[in-house]
Amino acid sequence: MGDILKKIHNASVRILKEIGIRLHNQEVINLLNRNGIKVDGQTALFEEKQLMHWINKAPGRFTLYARNPDHDMFIGGDSTEYAAGYGTPTIVSLDGNRRAATLEDYITFVKLVDQSEYFNINGGILVQPCELPSIYSNPAMMYATLTHSDKCILGLPGTADEVEHIMNMGGIIFGGKEEFIKRPHIATMVSTLSPLQIDHIALQTMLVCARHKQPLIISPAPAAGTTGPIMMASNISLANAEALAAIAITQIINEGTPVVYGLQSYAADMGSGNISIGSPGYSIQAKYCAQLAKLYGLPSRTGGTNTDAKGVSVQSGYESMMSMLLACQNKVNLIIHSAGILDAFAATSYEQFIVDLEIISMIEFYLGDIETDPEDFAFDVIREVGIGGQFITTQHTLERCRKASWHPQIGLRGFLVKGSPNEQLFANIERKMQKMLDSYEKPTLPSDMLEQLYEYTVKIEGVDKSIIEAIHQREDSPSELPWKQN
């Protein structure tokens, strides 16, 4: 254990032993009591031995299974997987105008994620549709994801009933509840309530997901100077304490439940009190998230292309590149917020989504390093060209020019043409996005499964039929919908 990591671990253990963590759920408190954890009212206090006993029950790696096996995700080791943006209620346009996100925006992002080669997981709160009543929001988003993508599924936190409904929808898609529980299919992210609390929604989500053996992504998010102490060492220690307690609780609920260790420890803008996700302070804390996860033998999660920028700009580019490069260099296993986020998680942008895909492409090429097989040194080609020659017309170059070099899909290169460089760049972004949407093909869902999913969502969950039909109206003719044929 490195000296810094040891100090952080010791500080976290001391926090949980001497201060504890408040739990807003009596069922969880009773479970802890029965398993020998000291509880004072709503506050649980862990001894280090107890804490590590339960954390060691969590698997060090696992596979998340998609409806399409081509998108199964291995979570752990040195592998890295990406998930798109999450949780924002606002769309920002190129001119800086802001509007509330809609269900149509949600479906569009599901399609973009489905089309991108960089994502094997879809769904979650890609954006929060403003027009949906809160009671319909989670099932409608999940229904849209299940019917528009066959990738792995990012779940949705909520009350016990709401999360149970999500698990039931997963059961319909994956061969029934018994088959569904046998393997991980839906990964759900929960956050602690800093400092040192876990609220009733997070705990209910943890109870339901753990009992279904579905993975939980634990993501404490104290902001240094506001909801956490201002010094980074203490803020990381606080976040680590919350993460360790939450992971231990998942194992007490159901041993062997897959978990992902994630810290979203932020810096804070002390002028406004807002969080800052584009600063080096965030990236430093994310680096320690990756190192601490490895210390505990758990998969890791951090943010990705994070920026405080209010719109697509120079700032959104350099901040996003910094945070994503750091996450990839530290071999974070699951990077959430990998595309589209602006304004410190307050907004999402279609254009920034496309920019962030370019950033991921650049980083993957950079981290791929160089090939060193004998033919990669091309000695015979160098000898053939000789001193003072040129390589552009050689067969060797012609055969490899499309794969050996990195090529931008939106960035400007070559000759400068008339007009604004930014206007040309934005036009490339628009063309790239439209090409992705034009290429989208809705994955096939068997008609009996689709009808069962529809019946469950409308009759059991009570989602208005008009919402479900709005989800289908753009790709499906009435004749293709089984409930329209009756």
Tens of pLDDT along 242-289?
999 999 999 999 999 999 999 888 878 788 878 889 988 888 888 999
CA distance 255 to 248: 9
Sheet of 347-348, strands arranged across: 98-100, 90-92, 347-348, 341-342
CA distance 240 to 219: 10
Of the candidates 154, 127, 133, 135, the residue with the CA atom closest to the CA atom of residue 346: 127
Burial 396-414 (b: 16+ CB within 10 A, else e): bbeeeeeeeeeeeebeeee
Q: Which residues contact 336 (CB under 8 A, 6 or more apart)?
A: 83, 86, 154, 189, 217, 262, 301, 302, 303, 304
Within 10 angstroms of residue 328's Cβ, the number of other Cβ atoms is 20
pLDDT one-digit tens code per residue, 359-386: 999 999 999 988 888 888 999 999 999 9
CA distance 222 to 197: 11
Side-chain-side CA neighbours of 332 within 13 Å: the count stands at 29
pLDDT > 90? residue 475 = no
Token pair for 115? 């089309």
What are the DSSP E strand ranges found in 254-377? 259-262, 267-268, 275-276, 300-303, 334-336, 341-342, 347-348
pLDDT at site 482: 64
pLDDT > 90? residue 481 = no
Element (H, E) at 243: helix 232-253
Token pair for 397? 């170059």
What is the CATH architecture assignment of 1-369+408-486? Alpha-Beta Barrel (3.20)
| Residue 213 banded pLDDT, cuts 50, 70, 90 | very high
Backbone φ and ψ of 274, nearest 5°:
-75, 160
| Residue 483 banded pLDDT, cuts 50, 70, 90 | low
What's the burial of 60, exposed, middle or buried (CB within 10 Å: 0-12/13-18/19+)? middle
The length of the chain is 486
Stretch 84-91: mean pLDDT, rounded?
96
CA dist 171 to 73, 123, 180, 412, 475, Å?
19, 16, 5, 47, 24
pLDDT at site 474: 66
pTM for this predicted structure: 0.94
CA distance 343 to 311: 7
Residue 15 amino acid letter? I
CA distance 231 to 472: 50
pLDDT one-digit tens code per residue, 115-152: 999 999 999 999 999 999 999 999 999 999 999 999 99
Tell me which residue has tokens 């490195």: 2
The pLDDT > 70 percentage for the chain reads 97
pLDDT > 60? residue 105 = yes
pLDDT > 60? residue 486 = no
pLDDT at site 274: 83
pLDDT > 80? residue 477 = no
Element (H, E) at 64: strand 62-64
What are the extents of the domains in the chain?
A: 1-369+408-486
pLDDT at site 286: 85
Tell me which residue has tokens 């599901």: 110
CA dist 160 to 188, 203, 207, 211, Å?
13, 9, 8, 11
CA distance 87 to 251: 27
pLDDT > 80? residue 178 = yes
Stretch 437-455: mean pLDDT, rounded?
94
Mean pLDDT, the chain, whole residue set: 94
Burial 449-476 (b: 16+ CB within 10 A, else e): bbbbbbebbbeebebeeebbbbbbeeee
CA distance 17 to 223: 22
Q: What is the dihedral of CA 268, 270, 273, 275, to 10 degrees?
A: -20
